[in-house]
Structure formats: C-alpha cells, structure tokens
Structure 1
C-alpha cells in the first residue's frame, strides 16, 4: 500500500484504539474522578511513547530528529490546546444540555479544515470540503437527543461546545504542524518523535497544575497505577496512529474519517446495551457514511 492511502487504515486503527481508551477511562472515573482519569492518558502514556520512539530508532536505524524552534512552538501549541479542549469538555459535562454541547463539539472536522487552510496552507478540494461538511452534519444529528433544540440550549453550552471543538481542532493542526516542521526523518520517525515531545509536554504541564490545584486527583492517579497503565497504553497507541495519519495527509482528512468512531460506539450500544436506534440516528449514520465516502473519493 502506498503512503497516499496508508492514512486510511492508520486512522481507522486510531479510532478503534481510542474507543478502547475511552472505555478504560470511564471505568477509572468511578475510582479517581474525572480530572484524575483524564490526565492518566498523558502521565501513563508518556513512558509508552518513549518506548515507541526507542523501538523506531532501533528498527529503522534512523537518528531521532533534532527539534527546531518552529517544531517546539507547534508542539507547545498543540499540547496546550488539547488540554484546554479537554478542560472545556469536562466543564460541558456539568451542563444540563450536554447533548447540545456534544453536538457543537462535533463541528471539529470543519474547524480543523478551516484552521488547516489558514495556518498550514493545506489544500482542500471542493469534493473533500463537501464530504467533511456532510459527515459533520451527520454526527451532529446523532449527538442530539430527540426533541432537543440548539436554539433553546442557551449561550453557555454553545460557547463550551464550539470552543472545545475549536481547541481540539487547533491541537490537531499544532501536532501536524510540528511533524511537518521536523527537517529530517521518515514519516514514522517524525510522528513518533512528535508524540513523545507532545506527551512529555502535557505530562509536565499537568503535573504542575495538579500539584498546585488538585493534589488529591494526582495522588489517586498514582495509587491506581495498574488500571491507569492500560488507559495510558491505549491512549499512546491511539495517538501514535493519529500522528502517523497527520504525517501522511491533512488533519481534516484524518479527523473526518475518525467520525466512524461514532458508528463504532453506536454499534456497541445497540448490541451490548440493546438500545434502540432512532430515525434521527439512522439519518445521522447515513450522512456520516456518505460524507466519509465523498472524502475518500476526493482523494483519488
């Protein structure tokens, strides 16, 4: 398979690994709280990222790329944006209109496309842009509960949702920008090195924050190190695939195809929890599949 198509299975693998990580983090939330469960993806993912970097160094026989000033700025921007996006998402969980907040958060692919064009100069064809818009509309429909009106949700859920999606989008752009800023190395080496720097930066920032403002969550996350290792591994694995995807194609392509994660979660809920699928959800799934299909066709 050529690198021009490799981003497709890589992105699907990332979505699958992230689904597993999310499930693990939900279980951790019950024992160490939301904040503690959120930060384990960084704290316990960082050692696995270092191991992956060492393995790539040995297997490929390549030197680890030397970071440039531009690379470090992109890494810091991406790492900070992802933390802020997660914080906004946690704040959104306390809102009554959580389904509305989630719907607005799912506008991320459209925001990724816009930020990619403005910040990185990514090229987006008309067909790809339409596919991104259709798939995003589908996932927004699936996120809304029956009878929910966006206009009636109020200002705060709207701001939280759009801002969270925007920061997640900026994180993706920052990480892709960092990968592109490295002057040498294969796409695997550059993406793996970027991941190690990103998780290291996020671990450092969160250790300082939790040490100053939430020591209880920090202590509890260390006590629950065994289940946290699983979340850290799955988180690092998902991020490894995300970053490889970012090294091969635009972040907009990766984040749009990643919407299939919503379909995976829907399938699990329907099969394991025997939850009925509404007409709105069926329409949303059709739009997601149609949008992703248009995106893939536009890559030829």
Structure 2
C-alpha cells in the first residue's frame, strides 16, 4: 500500500496553522478584525501564486490543466465562506459566554462529515465516525479552557446566542472545505498537489479582492495600517499560504471529514507551543482533551485503512 499523500499534508497543515495563529496574535493587537483577516490573504496571495508557478514550471512541469465551468464559482464560494465563518466565530467570542461559542464552533468536523456525504457522496467507515466523535469531544473539552462543562450544561447552552454563532461558524467552515474540495475536482489533472495549488492561488486572490474591497469601503483608515505591519504580516501570509496548500492537498486527495479529524492535531501543536514556548501550565482537563483527540485521530486512521 502506498503512503497516502493527504496524511503528511494534513499533519504539516496543523503545525503551520498553530504557528501562524501564534504570530497573528501580534498583528491582531493593532488591526481591526477585518484588517487582520485581510493580512492573511493580501500577503499570502503572492506566496500562493509563486508556489503554483514553481510547481507548474519547475518542480513538476506539465501542460496547464483545463478548468471546469464550476471551478471559479466554487473557489469564490469557498473563499467567501471562510471569511464569513471567521467573522461568525469572532461574533461568538464577543458574546457573554466565550467558552460555549468556542466549544460549539468545534462541531465543524461532524458537520463536514454530514455535508460531504450529502453533497459529495463520501462514505465513512464506523471507526472513522467513532474517531470524529472522540476528536470533536476532545477539542470541545480543550476549548473549555479548564472550565468543567457537563453534557447537560452544553445542551442547555444551546439557548445562548454564543452557541448559535459557534454552530453557525462550524457549519460555514464545513461549507468552506466542501467548496474547496469541489473546486479541486474541477481541475483536470490526476496530480492532487497541482490541483490544490491552482485552487489556492485563485481562492486567495479572490479573498484579497473581497475583503480588501470591504476594507476600502468601510474601514479605509485600516488600509495604511495593514501595509505598515508588513514585517509581521508577511510572516502570517507566508505561513497561511503554505498551511492552506497542505490543507487543500488533503481535501483534494481524501474525504474532507477524514482530513478535518486528523487535522485536529493542530490543537496539540498549539498546546505544545503554549507550554514550551510561552511557559503556560497545562491543566488536567487539557491533558484529557488531548488524549481524546489522539484517540480520535487513531480511530480515523484505522477507518481510513
């Protein structure tokens, strides 16, 4: 059996995303929500286009692949959905119960699984479903930040606006992954990396135009600040594009639910960064959450084989 491409791509994506999040905290202190979001796309677009051209012309030269008629709409939908999902998540954070909003946003893996079955016809094995259950539970425990929340409390929290924003965020993030996978299927090539890089380059350029246009329209004073923060913002853009290239490669070569559940190792990288680099203590509940995530990943991999 050949080693699946999506697995190392997904693990690398999780590590890079955790690193990018840590760096992005610095620019988020001086920029608005929309400006901080634009940084990822504006500074990431040249990197994405360069990676696509390097792969197409130098690494694996080949004819330019044909694009299906739904390619551009799927890229636009995926890019817009990611922007909307991020804003919904921030709205959940802005409500009175930060923990509830965060916890419910982590249902994305389950929602991705359901959407992939309904919209893409993906099929998942029983171990993979169990892995999704363990993984989502583990991430929800971690998102509680040490606060104990019983299942009954989580159910009661459904009445809170934070929970609704969180669920909506998870749904739109799931829709993002479905749209991106569909876009890669519109690229006429058996090379999953090539398809992923083409989709990434087009999507990030569209996101730059969408969120950049909004910033010029509604928050013009933030435009100069985006360029003033180029040193740190450039790092964010670089890591965002490389991480997205890995995510998109995973989506192109495996069911999105499987990629998402394995990609939850991102929380382990984030916890490791916080513990070893920032010197933060790890609570017992966080250890339990990491263990659940690990069990979920193992079950998902067993199901994949």
**Where on the TM-score scale, by shorter chain, does this alignment land: which range?**
over 0.9
TM-score, structure 2 length as denominator?
0.93
Aligned length: 299
Please name the residue that 1:32 is paired with.
31
Q: Aligned runs of 1:65-214 on 2, under 5 Å?
A: 65-145=65-145, 146-148=147-149, 149-150=153-154, 151-152=156-157, 154-214=159-219
Query: What is the CA distance between 1:144 and its match in structure 2?
Result: 1.2
For the 8 Å contact 1:81–1:171, the answer to whether it is kept is: yes
In 1, distance between residues paired with 2:158 and 2:112? Answer: 24
Please name the residue that 1:47 is paired with.
46
Please name the residue that 2:268 is paired with.
263
Query: What is the CA distance between 1:78 and its match in structure 2?
Result: 0.9
In 1, distance between residues paired with 2:275 and 2:61? Answer: 46
Query: What is the CA distance between 1:37 and its match in structure 2?
Result: 1.6
Query: What is the CA distance between 1:277 and its match in structure 2?
Result: 3.0
- CA 1:152–1:193: 2 relative to 1, 3 Å: closer
In 2, distance between residues paired with 1:98 and 1:45? Answer: 29
Secondary structure of residue in 2 paired with 1:181: coil
- CA 1:272–1:60: 2 relative to 1, 3 Å: closer
C-alpha RMSD of matched pairs (Å): 1.7
In 2, distance between residues paired with 1:210 and 1:31? Answer: 15
Match of 1:292 among 281, 284, 297: 297
In 1, distance between residues paired with 2:234 and 2:278? Answer: 27
In 2, distance between residues paired with 1:37 and 1:280? Answer: 31
Please name the residue that 1:240 is paired with.
245
Query: What is the CA distance between 1:211 and its match in structure 2?
Result: 1.1
Query: What is the CA distance between 1:134 and its match in structure 2?
Result: 1.2
Query: What is the CA distance between 1:157 and its match in structure 2?
Result: 0.3
Could you give the per-residue CA deviations for residues 224-273 of structure 1, whole angstroms, max 9, x where no partner exists? Answer: 22221111001001001111111111111111111111111122223344
Q: Which moved more, 1:98-107 or 1:61-70?
A: 61-70
TM-score, structure 1 length as denominator?
0.94
Unaligned runs of 5+ in 1: none
Could you give the per-residue CA deviations for residues 93-125 of structure 1, whole angstroms, max 9, x where no partner exists? Answer: 222211111111111111111111111111111
Query: What is the CA distance between 1:147 and its match in structure 2?
Result: 4.0
In 2, distance between residues paired with 1:183 and 1:162? Answer: 34
Query: What is the CA distance between 1:50 and its match in structure 2?
Result: 0.6
- CA 1:274–1:25: 2 relative to 1, 3 Å: closer
In 1, distance between residues paired with 2:159 and 2:304? Answer: 39
Please name the residue that 1:12 is paired with.
11
In 2, distance between residues paired with 1:245 and 1:8? Answer: 7
Could you give the per-residue CA deviations for residues 49-108 of structure 1, whole angstroms, max 9, x where no partner exists? Answer: 110111011121113323222222211211111010011112222222111111111111
In 1, distance between residues paired with 2:12 and 2:80? Answer: 25
For the 8 Å contact 1:64–1:189, the answer to whether it is kept is: no
In 2, distance between residues paired with 1:152 and 1:160? Answer: 12
For the 8 Å contact 1:99–1:144, the answer to whether it is kept is: yes
Secondary structure of residue in 2 paired with 1:258: helix
